[in-house]
Structures are given as C-alpha cells and as structure tokens.
A and B are shown apart, each in its own frame.
Chain A
Amino acid sequence: MSELDKRIEQWRTDLTTSETLGNSDIHELETHLREEIAKLTTSGLSDDEAFVVASRRLGNKPALEAEFAKAHPHRRLAHRLYWMVIGVLGYYLLLHVTSIAAWGTAWLGYAAGVRTWQHLAVVTAIVRLALFAAGSWFALRCYTSYAQSTARNVPISIRASIFLACAVLASWWIGLLPNVALDRIVPHECYTCVYSAQCWAGFGWGFMMPFLLVAALVVLSVRLKRATGQTSVVSDGKDRTRVTGEMQSRLREEIKHLTASGLSADEASLIAHHRLSDTGLPRAEFAEAPPHQLHANHLYWMVVGILGYLFVSWVGTLASSAWAWLGYAAGVRSVWLVLATGTVHVAVSFLIVVLALRRRASRAQTTVQRAWISLGVGLFAAIGIVLSWWVINSARPFLYRRLSEDGFLQIVGAWRWVGFGWTMLFPFLLAGVLIVLTMRRMPTACSR
C-alpha cells in the first residue's frame, strides 16, 4: 500500500465514525477525492500536497457531517439506535454466557467442599464479574480490529443479526435447563445451597451493574469530548512560518506558478510555504485518533442502549406486576391475568421508548452529552432500575404473607409467564430492528 493509499485509508476510517455518513456516501466521496488527487498530481503537485488540497476542497468532517445530516435527517437517530440495539443484544449474550459459567462455578465450588451459600455466592459473583470483564474486553478487541479492517460503520449483516438473537435465546435456555433438571436429581439441601448462592450473586449483579454502566458512560463521554476536540482540528494554514527578504519574492513566484496551475490563492500559499520553508504539511485535516477513541462513539451509544433497556425493562416489570395485583383484586383470573399483565408491560415499555426517542430526536443536533449530563441521566436510570427491581422483589414475600396460596400463585404465575414471553420474543424484536436499520443504512454500491 502506497503512502497515499494509507492516508486515504485513514481519512476514510475517520469518516466511518460519523453518524450521518453512510458507507456508500463515503465511497462516493472517496472516488471524488481520488479523482481530484489524480488531477492535481498531473498539474505538478506531489501525492502529499495533492491529498491535502483535495481533502480541503472536499470539506472537513464536521462540515460534511452537518451537510449530510440536513439531507438525511433521521440518520443520526437510526445510527444511535443501531448501536443501542447491538449493545443490548451483546450485553444479554454476555450476561447469559457468564450466568452459565457462574452456575458451573457454584456447582464446582459445592463439589470442592464449600458448603455455606454465602461463601459460594462470593466465589460465584467474583468469577462471573471477572468473566464478564474478560468477555467485554475480548468483544471490544474483536470489534475494533474488525471495524478497522473493513472501515465500515455498519458491521453487522442481516444473517448475523438473526444469529445474535438466536444465540441470546439459546444461551438463556442453556443456563436455565440444567437448574431445572438438577432440582430433580440432586438432594434438596445441596440444591438449595447452590441455588441461594446463585440468587445472591445475581442480587449483587443487579445492584452493581447499573452503576458500573453509569461509570462507563461518564468515562466514555469525557473521552469522546476529548476525541472530538482532536479530530475537529482544521488547519487554516495560519501557523505557517514567517519568511522574509529574498524568500518573499521566491514565495510570490511559487504562489503565482501554483495559481496558474489551477489552485486557489489560499491553497497555493499553503503549498508554497510548505515547499520553501520545509514545514510539514498540515496532517491534522483528518486527525490520527487512536483506534480506541475512533469507535468510542459506538461504544457510548451501546452503553446508553443497555442502561436504557434495563430501565425500560424494570420499570415495565414494576408496572405490570402492580397491574397483576390490581387485576387479581378486581377478579381477573388465570389466562386473562397473564394477558392483561403482558399488555401493560409491553405498553409501558413502548411508551417510555417512544417518549425517550422523541425527546432525543428533537435534540439530535448535539453529538454526545457532557459528562455531568451523562452522570445525571445515568444515575436517574440506575436508581430507577435498582428501585423498581427492589420493589418487585420485596413485593413477593409481602404478597406471599398476605394472600392465599392460590392468589399468590396466580399473580406470580402471571409475572413469570409475561417474563418468559418477553425473554422469548425480545431478542427477535431487537434483531428485527437491527435488520431494518441495516437495510436502511446499507444502500447499494458500498463495495470498495
């Protein structure tokens, strides 16, 4: 790969992180850039000089982004939604896989002689957290190298979306079935010990995760602010070195010569200064951001997606469980109770999503939130998640004491069935959203 190809590659990689430019747009712009460079080199410019002039003519990244946003007003939102959905699916896959590992650890721990559930719970939680961190790190590394090698902003195909949804579901079943089976095989005492260890580890998990996500959100938003500050550096050519005396006349001649070959006065002055004073050409037109910063934007929206999903999910569950109770009090029984609870769950979740999206869409111009806004919104979501989760879990023993056994079973049964339906359907719903967004963002002619 020649030096010029490398610079173009870098220029393209920088554009792929944009929220409003699609792959085919970048391809179209690259074709333009290459033609312009070819024309400029025939008029006597070196590859490096031609690249700088051509990329200046094409416009810098923020200006291009703003213009494309005007032509495609919904792209920014679609882009963010895309990464949110990938974030949620990825999170669930990782969650289920680590849950299987945690289950294995708890049983192994029991077999190795740890007999109290408290100790087992601590071991399980540590192993799970470590595995989750390792899994996230691995996924990130794979993603970064993949995104760099393809330089595309939509890395997941339709087939991969369906595969991801099936994997989420399969891992959930794999984590669930052995527990059910072992309940019948092993002695009751042993099962209770391991099961409570898992439950307590899960409790710690549910409590900690939202706050970990908030921390990730804040770190990413700080990093992104720094990254955007770096990449939007546009050289206006004012940092040229001063030239005096005889150099002045040579410079004038050079500029005259360059403008005669078709360069504008500003471009000619930039190149002439470079040639005479030996200062390097401005390389910051499209800055060399390190890879982990390049894709921090995608990561940011993934974390927002996961946090948002957990919030919607738990607030929806809270509303639906309250509804199950009310429904039972009003005399609704069996299947009807399940149906009513499910409808409320879906309706409340849908309502929150629509409200959040409408609010965001109206402020879609801002790229990434400031750290303190991320912290505020994130903490609100985290507290909402933990609180609704706590209310739901403490409502169960309360109900158990207050209601007849039949009533308790009816209500808890309704929750469980709704939760089951939700778990079964949701990955596919997400895969559907992903497919629609992929199709919208993958127009023709995106091959290189």
Chain B
Amino acid sequence: MAVSKDLVAASAAPMILSILAEGDSYGYAIIKRVRELSGGQMAWTDGMLYPVLHRLERQGLVESYAQTSEAGRKRKYYRLRKQGTKALAKHRDQWMLVHNALQQLWERTPCLS
C-alpha cells in the first residue's frame, strides 16, 4: 500500500527534521532512510527532497555545509539548528494530536455493531 501523494508532501518536513535530529545527513542518505523506515512504501521522487531541504534552510531550521565524500565528490550535508529542534517539537505535537484523534475514532468503530 503506497502512501498518497498529499500525505507524503505533508509529512516531508517533519520526516526530514526527525531524520536530521538523529544526526547530520545528506540528500541521498535521507532518501535511503525514508525508504528504510517505510519499507519502501513512501515513494518520494528523489529530486523533490532537495527543494524541501532548501526551504527548511531558508526558514533557518537547518543549515548546510560541504564535506568531501570517499569518492572525492563534494557532498552537501545538512544539520538541524536550534530553531529546527523547536519546529520539530511543534510538528510532533501536531502529528500526535491528529494521530490520537484518528486512533480514538478508529478504536470506537468496531463498537458500532
């Protein structure tokens, strides 16, 4: 079951912030981690990750720095900033709220009979 496009788009920012909260990372590794976490069910078009990262960078939630990979290519790493941690907490509260509300509704459904 693939996750719908809208849901993927809505969850992109909290997902990226949460992955960066685990440690600094770069685009390709972030995509890999998302695939791993969702068992390949959250299909991102890989190129769409970067505009989201850039938007987060412009909002001051993450910052980037260059580091050379083993293959000798410059990679752009992203690091979570203090503001990003705060934003992540806010995202978390909101998602938990939605999650709890839906859970309550769905737990009640079997009692309808």
> Chain A residues in contact with chain B, CB under 8 A?
24-25, 27-29, 31-32, 34-36, 38, 57-59, 63-64, 67-68, 70-72, 264, 444-445, 447
Contact = CB atoms under 8 A, between A and B. Distances in A.
Interface residues of B, number: 22
A58 B55 contact: no
Interface string B32-52: 000000000001011110111
Contacts of A59: 45-48
Interface of B: 26-28, 31, 43, 45-48, 50-52, 54-55, 58, 66, 69, 71, 73-76
B76 A28 contact: yes
B45 A58 contact: yes
Interface of B is mostly: helix
A58 B44 CA distance: 9
Given A444-B66, A445-B66, A29 B50 contact: yes
A4 to B, nearest CB: 14
Contacts of B48: 59, 63, 67
Given A32-B27, A36-B28, A71-B55, A27 B45 contact: no
A67 B47 contact: yes
A71 B54 contact: yes
B76 to A, nearest CB: 5
A34 B75 CA distance: 11
A63 B74 contact: no
A31 B71 CA distance: 10
Contacts of A67: 47-48, 50-51
B93 to A, nearest CB: 25
B50 to A, nearest CB: 6
A369 to B, nearest CB: 26
B47 A63 contact: yes
B72 to A, nearest CB: 11
Contacts of B58: 71
B41 to A, nearest CB: 11
A24 B57 CA distance: 14
Contacts of A447: 74
Given A28-B27, A35-B28, A57 B46 contact: yes
A32 B66 contact: no
Contact of A68 (B27, B46, B51): B51
Contacts of A64: 47
